[in-house]
Amino acid sequence: MSGGAWVVVLVVRAALGSCAVLVLPWLLGEVSYVSLEPQASWDAGTLPRVAHMRTRSESIAHTYVQAVRRQFNLSSVLFCVALEESATLLVLVLLQHSYGDAVWIHRNWNFSLALMLTLIVLGLPLAACFLLCFSGGKKQKWNTSRAVGTTVLFLAWCWAFLRVPLPHSVVVATSGTTGFILARAGMLGVIMIATLSGSAAAGAICDSYENLVIRRRKRWRESDRRSAQESFQRACLDLQTAQSTAAQIEDAIQQEAPRSSWIPWSKSTKQRELQAIRTEIIGLEAMATTMRSDLDMIEEEERRARYQRTPLGRILLLGGHGFSAYCAFRLLQCVVNLVLLGYRAPSSDFVSAALAHAVRFFGVELDVALWAPRIGFLLVGGLIVLRMRVLLSTLAALIRSVSAGISAQFLVLFTAEVVCIYTLAALIQLHANVGTTNSSTNTLLATLPEFQRVFGALFDVVFLIVALLTNAYRWFQWQSDAFAAFAS
């Protein structure tokens, strides 16, 4: 590798790593918010909202530094590495158009791809199993039973990964262990991305329907917002008090002699008290989650009403409705592919191809067959990002039902897993046109399975099923709200 190539690689990786660290405070703020943890307060170092910027004396750089310093742990490090390596793979695909088949590009591609697969299969699942077993908001001593539980969970994950079925048409250019892992990771990635994008597409359509039809019938007052905010703050305060009490009781139980080791079925007074407080915490978490959803709905309605009074807001609302229209066309595209077109020949969705053709009207010459999958990749990524808070909130509720005190770090690990799997699935999707375009510019993507022929039908089926289930769930919510309003 020449000296200039080394400089390019180091600069790219340093820039991407810095961007990953800058993204971390935003993610930690979202995670703390949806997990109902005390770190969501302003004093915890998370970023303030726009409405509160004038009341905060520290600079944005100082806020970032404090947030990263207080929350930088193993989960955060793994997230930064996952984001940096995922972005590196995408940048290498772009650099190949400028540098061609340089040896240093292929070496960095192989290194980043191997590291990302290691994170998907080993690193992130092992860290998640460790958090599930060694739960709690404080440091815990080594416990053999917890170590065994971590090992069992990780072995169960490995067994399930090795049993992932593969399509008969899958052909991986790489061989050996890398090809074996890549094929199964790609299968899981396509299923996960189809699930996330399907739910996001259906959610965007339902949100537009609510804004255009349902929410026009409601008018919120300022007193309603203040009442909802005060109720949510009281619920969070009660939840923090209960969690602090539970932590104190856990410390007292650990300091006492383990009387339950000889009589496993007996419980001390503190253990029964701890169980009662944990039951109370579950109820408080459910109540706080409901209040937070109500507050979010009221604040979103206020923002939408303010946007409607400004030209920029009208443009943004129109763009949101246009994005919902894209989601509807994407659902139609899945049906057309399954019923009429099939998956033997590479094809792109209607909207991506139309956008690529539209760019050419502005005098920019684009290869539509090459750029349509990339536009589709960006649109699917936008779907996932726009619905990330809803996704994290749902996952946080599931995690809290299993174990308390670990949801924030677990959500960071889950986001890192989504980033890696989305990148892998996106690269596989970009491989859709290898063989139909200039193959000399696609030697990196040629090492991946071909998307349209191998995973196209799977993606569309999962996308449609999840979208239909999401629409059914939202319809049930609308009917329940209408019935409750009628009953009251």
pLDDT digits (tens, 9 = 90+) for 184-227: 887 888 888 788 888 888 888 887 887 777 665 555 666 777 78
Contact 24, 63 (CB under 8 A): no
Pick the closest to residue 137 from 45, 73, 79 (CA basis): 73
Q: Of 307 and 46, which is predicted with more confidence? A: 307
Mean pLDDT of 148-177: 74
Pick the closest to residue 458 from 117, 178, 193, 160 (CA basis): 193
Q: Of 161 and 25, which is predicted with more confidence? A: 161
Q: What is the pLDDT of residue 58?
A: 53
> Is the predicted pLDDT of residue 181 greater than 60, yes or no?
yes
Q: What is the pLDDT of residue 453?
A: 59
Contact 174, 445 (CB under 8 A): no
Mean pLDDT of 228-242: 84
To 5 degrees, how large is the angle CA 133–CA 138–CA 139?
A: 70
pLDDT digits (tens, 9 = 90+) for 341-351: 666 655 556 66
Q: What is the pLDDT of residue 287?
A: 83
In a domain, 260, yes or no: no
> Is the predicted pLDDT of residue 379 greater than 50, yes or no?
yes
In a domain, 261, yes or no: no
Contact 262, 238 (CB under 8 A): no
Pick the closest to residue 295 from 244, 238, 342, 229 (CA basis): 229
pLDDT-wise least confident of 164-168, 296-300, 367-371, 417-421: 367-371
In a domain, 65, yes or no: yes
Six token digits for residue 54: 């004038």
- Longest pairwise C-alpha distance within the chain: 81
Q: What is the pLDDT of residue 398?
A: 59
In a domain, 453, yes or no: yes
pLDDT-wise least confident of 13-22, 130-139, 248-257, 468-477: 130-139
pLDDT digits (tens, 9 = 90+) for 284-331: 887 887 888 778 777 777 777 776 677 777 776 777 777 788 788 888
Spatial distance between the Cα atoms of 120 and 419, rounded to a whole number of angstroms: 10
pLDDT digits (tens, 9 = 90+) for 438-465: 444 457 776 776 655 566 778 888 889 9
> Is the predicted pLDDT of residue 274 greater than 70, yes or no?
yes
Spatial distance between the Cα atoms of 15 and 60, rounded to a whole number of angstroms: 19
Which SS3 state, helix, strand or coil, does residue 169 take? coil
Domain hosting residue 108, numbered range: 3-254+266-487
Mean pLDDT of 398-423: 71
Q: What is the pLDDT of residue 55?
A: 43
Count the domains in the chain.
1
In a domain, 419, yes or no: yes
In a domain, 259, yes or no: no
Q: Which run of H or of E encompasses 246?
A: helix 222-255
Q: What is the pLDDT of residue 465?
A: 92
In a domain, 331, yes or no: yes
- What is the total residue count of the chain? 488
pLDDT digits (tens, 9 = 90+) for 90-147: 888 877 766 666 777 778 888 888 888 888 888 888 888 887 776 654 455 556 777 7
Q: What is the pLDDT of residue 479?
A: 81
pLDDT digits (tens, 9 = 90+) for 475-485: 888 787 777 66
Q: What is the pLDDT of residue 456?
A: 72
